[in-house]
Structure 1
Amino acid sequence: MALWFAFLRGINLGKRQMKMDELKACLEGAGLGSVKTVLASGNVGFEAEGDADAIRSQLESLIEKQFGFAVGVVLRSEAELQAMLAGHPFGRLDSAADVTRHVLMFDRPLPQGLSLPDRPGHTEILRMDAREIYIAGYRQPDGRYTEGVEGVLKPLYDRLDKNALDTMRNWNTMEKMLK
């Protein structure tokens, strides 16, 4: 069995509530192994057989049946997650900066030739990989960090297919996934 990581989009917002112990029980009941959730925002590691498309489809079906609402799943293999972490996408940040680190993950490759103008000292795009964008959000006078990210990402969403699925995670969460 291979190790996989699922990042669920848009749960625990409004009426889309999901307890992680219930998610864990649902996945274990379907035969997935070594199920481990991280935080309450829909991050789960597990062992499963099959390819990414089949596993993602299985998860989406299981979750909709169990919880009564559809949830998009962005999936990464153990090797893909290890490569993300080993790539040190935030290595050039000043360690003393008051900044939050995020990764925006997609279910499919990003458009070719994409360029996103960032806002230095506010919202910076540190790197774009085939299916990930690494973002630094600097603390602003109002105490917020990622308030301007939508504006920086607007050119991307203007070019994406309407069915493209994405989800953003704090980098601290990503670092916890393999532990």
Structure 2
Amino acid sequence: MSRYVAFLRGVSPMNARMPELKHCFEAAGFSEVKTLLSSGNIVFNAQSTSLSSLERRAEQAMRSELGRSFDTFVRPVCYLQDLIDSAPFAEFGLAPSAKRIVTFLRSPMSPDVKLPIERDGASILKAYATEVLSAYVPDPKQGPVFMRLLERSFGKDITTRTLDTVIKCAKA
């Protein structure tokens, strides 16, 4: 059995309860299921298989149990831990107040996207095969500029977490 993290797009306390999501993942046949925070982070054990297969199983279980589904992005805990251990933001000299963001892509990034991209205080810094690193300094007057920049660059089939959240998920 391997340990995985599922990052669900668009989950908030207003549209999904964590106990219900936990039940969906258990109904999908996953074990040692645990939810973290209230933003659609689910850690679970499963037999090793393709990530897309795990994503489909989770999404099908949500449709069956909840009558709706959230786009699901699964990564092995060991993969996330390797990413964390590499200190992925160290080379950028970011301000202490900058939010460090990891965006999960459904499929590898297009080679046409040239990085870095900067706009309105948000920066897309670096990309791996299916993860993108970005950073921004929060500005209440501008709202979520970084999300608009990410969606414009990579489409809406993505989900985003702070590095702190990714660290918590990898440790769970």
- Partner SS state of residue 31, structure 1: coil
Match of 2:82 in 1: 83
Say if 2:28 and 2:57, in contact at 8 Å, map to a contact too.
no
1:166 matched to 2:164? The reply is no
Task: Note the 1:80-119 alignment, pairs <5 A.
Answer: 80-94=79-93, 97-119=96-118
- Segments ≥4 residues shifted beyond 6 Å: none
In 2, Cα distance between equivalents of 1:126 and 1:106: 15
Deviations 1:69-124 (CA, angstroms, capped at 9, x unpaired):
12111111123212221221211354753111111111110101421453388112
In 1, Cα distance between equivalents of 2:94 and 2:152: 29
- Partner SS state of residue 92, structure 1: helix
Say if 2:13 and 2:38, in contact at 8 Å, map to a contact too.
no
In 2, Cα distance between equivalents of 1:130 and 1:91: 19
- TM superposition shift of 1:52: 1.6
Say if 1:35 and 1:44, in contact at 8 Å, map to a contact too.
yes
Return 20-29 or 66-75, whichever deviates more.
Answer: 20-29
- TM superposition shift of 1:151: 5.1
If the length of structure 2 is used for normalisation, what is the TM-score?
A: 0.85
- Partner SS state of residue 28, structure 1: helix
- Partner SS state of residue 117, structure 2: coil
Could you tell me which runs of 5 or more consecutive residues in structure 2 were left unpaired when the two chains were aligned.
none
Alignment length (residue pairs): 170
RMSD: 2.5
If the length of structure 1 is used for normalisation, what is the TM-score?
A: 0.82
Match of 1:153 in 2: 150
Q: 1:96 to 1:154 in 2, by over 3 A?
A: closer
Task: Note the 1:48-87 alignment, pairs <5 A.
Answer: 48-49=46-47, 50-87=49-86
Say if 2:122 and 2:136, in contact at 8 Å, map to a contact too.
yes
